[in-house]
Structure 1
Amino acid sequence: MPEWKQWHVLGIGEFPALQDLSIDDCSNLMGKLPENHCSLTKLRILGCPELNLETPIQLSSLKRFEVDGSPKAGVLFDEAELFTSQLEGMKQIEELRIRNCNSLTSLPTSTLTSTLKKIRIHCCRKLKLEAPDSSRMISDLFLEVLGLDGCDSISSAELVPRAFYLEVRSCQNLTRFLIPNGTGRWCENLETLYIGCCVEILSVACGTQMMLLFISDCKKLKRLPERMQELVPSLKELRLWKCPEIESFPDGGLPFNLQLLEISYCEKLVNGRKEWRLQRLLSLRELHIIHNGSDEEIVGGENWELPCSIQRLFIGNMKTLSSQLLKSLTSLEYLRTDNLPQIQSLLEQVLPSSLSELRLSLHDELHSLPTECLGHLTSLRRLEIINCPQLQSLAESALPSSLSELTIWNCPNLQSLPVKRIPSSLSKLSIYRCPLLKPLLEFDKGRYWPEIAHIPEIYMDFALGDSEWL
């Protein structure tokens, strides 16, 4: 309502029974809100640059408060005394969202009520964190979720309020992330830590109870927390994205309870893979390695070891991956490979017979699917072949008898399917963007139709976005 200028309705203009109020993009709305909103549980003020909240209003039932791009409304958070006064009246507040309040300079953690469970602050460039008031027990406040995004004035994380889930993004002046170990307040309950796009961060340390650590786009970060095996024994997931300066895992290796490890576009770390010693991680179930094709041959052969406990493996753009490495994964159930120049020779070797799902995608070097590739995979139920432009044929006996789903997408040179040997177990066939196959599969007319008509689900040339397959 861009033309709305004044809060004015019949009577006193107050709504004592109103529970949900959203004021969105009212660029000319001026003045202040009525003072009595005793039943309001949700208040959302977005894009209202002239709306004023300098006078505290009655929000005793409020549970969720969101302000975005409304500087005068954001003054509630800019003035410590006003913030304290207003929060004292929010007896049931559970969630705060503050976005684009550029004059917000502090978050007075000592005034935050213990009912508060979620805080998300975005693009408040001048925000700094203050030390808690020693006269107040900080243990009263424990958040489920704390998110800080685009808060460039935060330079250290020691004063961040405690939370189960902590997400810090695009804080450009953050140079270190230290969460005390031992018996400190921080380390008792933090379970998930995400650090992303903090381009100046050089070091990270974390607490003992952490279960998931995700670090993304930290270009200057050179090392992971020290003594992880000893200090973070509960860690179950470690995800590293685009951290090109990390060269190795910490001394002593990764925690023994680790179940998922993802390494994407960490060039130096992948090139030092012979020292990973992952074979000791007997709880590891899932491994993702996505590289940039710059991996170097390991002296003495590509014989770095993986634990046989791995059940899911995703390998992308690694030119030196060996078939011997795959053969050792006797518990492997899911395998995805992307953009491997050696894919043809890999498939001509014996894949683990335990496989139930196989996805081959983005392979410019794949010309055919050989018989020896899949014939022995008696547990394979799902096969996907995606974006393989040079693929021309599938061997007549390439499909195992256990197969129930077959998907082929964007293989423009694929000329034929082994329809005479399609397993009776196949219940779903999906063919998209394969122009040479399209006339052969046409309903009631194509040469292949009599051979596939019995399949319960058949999908062809359904319009799907590329993002669904990448």
Structure 2
Amino acid sequence: MPVLETLGGALFGAVLQVLFDKLDSHQVLHYFRGTNLDEKQLKSLKRKLMDINAVIDDAEQKQFSNSLVKEWLDEVRDVLYDAEDLLDEIDYELFINKSEAQFQSSTSKVCNFESKMIQVLEDLESLSNQKVVQDFKISSGVISGLGVDRTERVSKTTRHLSILKDPVEYHEYQSLSYAKRLRTFMPICRNYEMSIQEVISKFKLLRVLSLSYCRNIKEVPDTLGDLIHLRSLDLSGTQIKKLPNSTCSLCNLQVLKLNKCFCLKELPSTLHELTNLCRLELMETTLKKIPLLLGKLKNLQVWMGGFEVGSNESSIQQLGELDLHGKLSIINLQNIVNPCDALTADLKNKTHLVGLCLNWNFGWNSDDINSIKEREVLENLQPSKHLEDLSLIVYSGTQFPRWLSYNYLSNVVSLTLKRCKYCQWLPSLGLFTFLKHLNIDGLDQIVRIDADFYGNSSSTFESLEMLEISNMREWEEWYCMTGAFPRLQRLSVTKCAKLKGHLPKHLSHLRQLIIHDCKQLVASIPSAVEIEGVKMEPSSFDMIEHLISDTPLNYLSIVSCPSLNILINHCYHFLLVLVISQCGHSFTNFPLDLFPKLWKLQLDKCCNLQMISQGHPHNHLKSLKIERCSEFESFPNEGLFAPQLETFRIEGSDKWNSMPKNMSVLLPSLNHLYIANCPVLEWSDGCLPSNLKAMRLFNCFKLLASLKGAWGTNPSLEFLYIGKVDVEFFSGEGLLPLSLTELIISDCPNLKKLDYRGLCLLSSLEKLHLYNCPILQCLPEEGLPKSISELRIRNCSLLKQCCKNQKGEDWEKIAHIKYIEVDYEKVNIEDKAQVGNY
């Protein structure tokens, strides 16, 4: 089988180690004594397992050259799983009775355990006495990947299963019923069909269950507790709101992953009863509260992600007992009433916590701020010196904490100070030896950045690569220390209206410079031999050329420059990427010939721009975007000659009435075309470029009407999006290219009917999406092309009723389609199978 693999020593070693650990458990020994089972059986089991363990490595090496050895290993695997199942069941009995002293088992259950033990011992005895057995049944494998090879079926000996294909067909799901002894189940596809209840009922012996990002899972049934052998459970990315209390009966559970469960707000209160739990992941899952006694699990490592401090429901003190790992964001810190509570969070000793975000939520105009209390809270939230990433958000104290004022956090790589609007001066951040990224935003009380910021050291900010300062309302002066920022690559200063003077000089490694909304800052470029990108507000384009003529600048963004003037006697050969936004009453023409090396051009909100002029072919331009330039109306008369152009996007041009001429000849490389909100635009002449693969048309009714017959011999167009067209009847005949594989029709409020004559010719069409067509009544009477394998319908209320599962009048027209989604909900695959093909 092409997707089968063989587990190596990791499997046998892990299973054997689990068995040895359980056999050494005094609880298991006590159980045997208490139920009058033969203790000799335990010793015999351990001895036979050791015999197997002694030869397992050699057997694994020989299995690849000797099929009989491979068969013997398969038999060993099965018996080891039987032994593990038996010891798990005994563990479970102990767990549910809570106390060894109160442990009592029924006679029938004891007899059942005894018979299973005898069978396991007999099987192991047979295996130990025979290194190679001639007549073993041939096994088909231990790991399967469902949905890769369509001829493949899951066999009864399959132990580990991943579902790789999306969507998986019904008959493939049916084959799962054979795998009664499945240990691992991991559907990797997001559109997995089987319900979690089905998984639990079919696979009682699961050790690993991963249903991460299965979008149909919104609730977990109480029967989850039946999976008593489960070691690892992953429900990350699902829409669950809670876990059932039965989760706490999974006595063997070691790993629980609940990352990105945005609807999940709390965990079962008795989660601390999972004594074997050693890893709990809650990254990007913000809990309202955590179980009070979770800290009793001393071996538990927690990746929490987010914790919300509640005024009554949850206390920051709960964090003190947890072994926190990864990154943690604590929000609503204003709810801490007593600063001493922050001290009990014990963040200083969370040595495995590498990222910390401390966030208050006062709003912009709160009157109940106690700056003294908030500073004491922050002082008591001192993190570990191993911290690498720190953010302080909406901190309302007037001073930063002492632990931020000296080089205590020497390992910090990234630091963000945001909306700490009462702080009057900055700490000596230049002493942070490994600091690479520094973001200072919204510190309204800072008037001057002086020598204290650098730390009065000869080596200051020696590792800093990115410095971003923004929204500093009162900042007027920046003292620039010579030799600072020796490795700075990106400098951004935005919305600092009162800042005067110059930027730091001699930034030899600077590659990107962004200056925006700093009206009083002297417009100068630091000496930088490596600079590649500049975004600023110059008074003229010529000034930029003059300032950076000796640098390898290749990216330039010009924003809000009312007097922009491109001098026609210059050639700006240094630029590769140019963005011009919100510029110039006099900026009416963009001369493309002056930028011979340009490969990306974006013109946005240039209110008086009317045309792009060109006298020579442009052999480098690959991307052209013209957005919200309301006066734009023309390209060169002969057409736009850009043989390397791949992406062409234009939107919001009310006066543009004709596409560039001769596109099929002058734009041979074009493969993506996007046109939106150009109401008077029409197709000019000729065919579309032969390599065009994707086209999006939105609110361009005249263009769409003029395209009829314009596809010519285009064999490449695969994707077509048509949006906001004011029609009642969509024919498509002569309009839709035969090569289409995906068609989206969206935002057509008056559309009532689709015509079969246009759709039936699309023999390659695989995906049809119908969005926001509220009065679209039904599908064509003749049905849809047989080639369609995916149908998505969203916000089409009348059509939704017609396509109801087995009940709607259009159901038989779509029952053959493999994947159907209506308003983000998938149609149940079993119900579809019952209907069958029509």
TM-score by length of 2: 0.47
Task: Give matches, 1:255-274, under 5 Å.
Answer: 255-268=618-631, 270-274=632-636
1:443 to 805, 814, 837: 805
Quote the residue 2:520 is aligned against.
153
3-state SS in 2 of match to 1:397: helix
Distance 2:440 2:598 in 1: 35
Structure with the higher fraction of residues in helix conformation: 2
Distance 2:378 2:547 in 1: 57
* Structure 1 residue 149: Cα displacement: 3.1
Distance 1:447 1:6, change over 3 A: closer
Task: Give matches, 1:10-409, under 5 Å.
Answer: 16-30=385-399, 33=402, 34-37=405-408, 38-48=410-420, 49-50=422-423, 52-53=425-426, 58-71=431-444, 74=446, 78-79=449-450, 83=454, 85=456, 88-101=459-472, 102-106=474-478, 108=480, 111-128=483-500, 130=502, 140-143=508-511, 145-154=512-521, 156=523, 158=525, 163-168=531-536, 171=537, 174-177=538-541, 178-180=543-545, 184-186=549-551, 188=552, 190-196=553-559, 198-204=560-566, 207-220=572-585, 222-223=587-588, 228-229=592-593, 232-250=595-613, 252=615, 255-268=618-631, 270-275=632-637, 277-278=639-640, 280-295=641-656, 304-306=661-663, 307-309=666-668, 310-325=670-685, 327-342=687-702, 345-352=705-712, 353-354=714-715, 355-365=717-727, 367-374=729-736, 377-399=737-759, 400-409=762-771
* Structure 1 residue 389: Cα displacement: 1.9
Quote the sequence identity (%): 23
Do the aligned residues in 1 keep the contact of 2:502 with 2:524 (CA within 8 Å)? no
Quote the residue 2:137 is aligned against.
none
Distance 2:701 2:436 in 1: 55
Distance 2:638 2:483 in 1: 46
3-state SS in 1 of match to 2:743: strand
- Does residue 5 of structure 1 match 2:365? no
Distance 1:387 1:131 in 2: 49
Q: What 5-or-longer segments of structure 2 have no aligned partner?
A: 1-332, 335-372, 826-838
Distance 1:86 1:284 in 2: 52
Distance 1:183 1:124 in 2: 23
* Structure 1 residue 303: Cα displacement: 7.3
Do the aligned residues in 2 keep the contact of 1:64 with 1:96 (CA within 8 Å)? yes
Q: Report the number of matched residues.
A: 437
Structure of greater Rg: 2
* Structure 1 residue 4: Cα displacement: 2.1
- What amino acid maps onto 1:19 in structure 2? E
Do the aligned residues in 2 keep the contact of 1:411 with 1:433 (CA within 8 Å)? yes
1:429 to 791, 798, 815: 791
Distance 1:191 1:56, change over 3 A: closer
* Structure 1 residue 260: Cα displacement: 1.5
3-state SS in 2 of match to 1:373: coil
Distance 1:132 1:254 in 2: 41
Do the aligned residues in 1 keep the contact of 2:572 with 2:596 (CA within 8 Å)? no
* Structure 1 residue 429: Cα displacement: 0.6
Do the aligned residues in 2 keep the contact of 1:126 with 1:153 (CA within 8 Å)? yes
Q: Which deviations, in whole Å up to 9, do the C-alpha atoms of 1:331-389 show, x marking residues without a partner? A: 32222212123256335434243321111111124632232222xx3321111111112
Distance 2:728 2:458 in 1: 63
Distance 1:386 1:424 in 2: 22
Distance 1:71 1:199 in 2: 27
Do the aligned residues in 1 keep the contact of 2:561 with 2:583 (CA within 8 Å)? yes
Which one is further off, 436-445 or 418-427? 418-427
Distance 2:791 2:675 in 1: 25
Do the aligned residues in 1 keep the contact of 2:693 with 2:719 (CA within 8 Å)? yes
Distance 1:81 1:371, change over 3 A: same
* Structure 1 residue 215: Cα displacement: 1.6
Distance 1:9 1:303 in 2: 64
Do the aligned residues in 1 keep the contact of 2:731 with 2:757 (CA within 8 Å)? no
3-state SS in 2 of match to 1:406: strand
* Structure 1 residue 85: Cα displacement: 4.0
Distance 1:142 1:398 in 2: 57
TM-score by length of 1: 0.80
Distance 2:723 2:414 in 1: 46
Do the aligned residues in 2 keep the contact of 1:419 with 1:452 (CA within 8 Å)? no
3-state SS in 2 of match to 1:50: coil
Do the aligned residues in 2 keep the contact of 1:378 with 1:402 (CA within 8 Å)? yes
Distance 1:204 1:462, change over 3 A: farther
Q: Which deviations, in whole Å up to 9, do the C-alpha atoms of 1:198-253 show, x marking residues without a partner? A: 15242257853422212222253515676x535x3321111111112123335636
Q: Which deviations, in whole Å up to 9, do the C-alpha atoms of 1:97-128 show, x marking residues without a partner? A: 21222314447496442311222223211234
Which one is further off, 124-133 or 449-458? 124-133
Do the aligned residues in 2 keep the contact of 1:157 with 1:179 (CA within 8 Å)? no
Structure with the higher fraction of residues in strand conformation: 1
Do the aligned residues in 2 keep the contact of 1:312 with 1:333 (CA within 8 Å)? yes
Which one is further off, 177-186 or 413-422? 177-186
Do the aligned residues in 1 keep the contact of 2:477 with 2:499 (CA within 8 Å)? yes
3-state SS in 1 of match to 2:606: coil
Q: Which deviations, in whole Å up to 9, do the C-alpha atoms of 1:163-211 show, x marking residues without a partner? A: 333334xx5xx4224332799333x1x3332233x15242257853422
Distance 1:323 1:235 in 2: 27
Do the aligned residues in 2 keep the contact of 1:381 with 1:405 (CA within 8 Å)? yes
Q: Which deviations, in whole Å up to 9, do the C-alpha atoms of 1:414-454 show, x marking residues without a partner? A: 22323635222212111112222122100111122122122
Do the aligned residues in 2 keep the contact of 1:336 with 1:359 (CA within 8 Å)? yes
Distance 1:389 1:455 in 2: 26
Which one is further off, 235-244 or 314-323? 314-323
3-state SS in 2 of match to 1:52: coil
Higher relative contact order (CA 8 A, sep 6+): 1
* Structure 1 residue 273: Cα displacement: 2.7
Do the aligned residues in 1 keep the contact of 2:576 with 2:599 (CA within 8 Å)? yes
Distance 1:82 1:371, change over 3 A: closer
Distance 1:57 1:131 in 2: 17
* Structure 1 residue 327: Cα displacement: 2.0
Distance 1:389 1:31, change over 3 A: closer
- What amino acid maps onto 1:153 in structure 2? Q
Distance 1:8 1:286 in 2: 50
Do the aligned residues in 2 keep the contact of 1:21 with 1:42 (CA within 8 Å)? yes
Do the aligned residues in 2 keep the contact of 1:317 with 1:340 (CA within 8 Å)? yes
Do the aligned residues in 2 keep the contact of 1:129 with 1:160 (CA within 8 Å)? no
Q: Which deviations, in whole Å up to 9, do the C-alpha atoms of 1:295-333 show, x marking residues without a partner? A: 35x7xxx77343241222222333444445362433322
Do the aligned residues in 2 keep the contact of 1:433 with 1:461 (CA within 8 Å)? yes
Distance 1:32 1:225, change over 3 A: farther
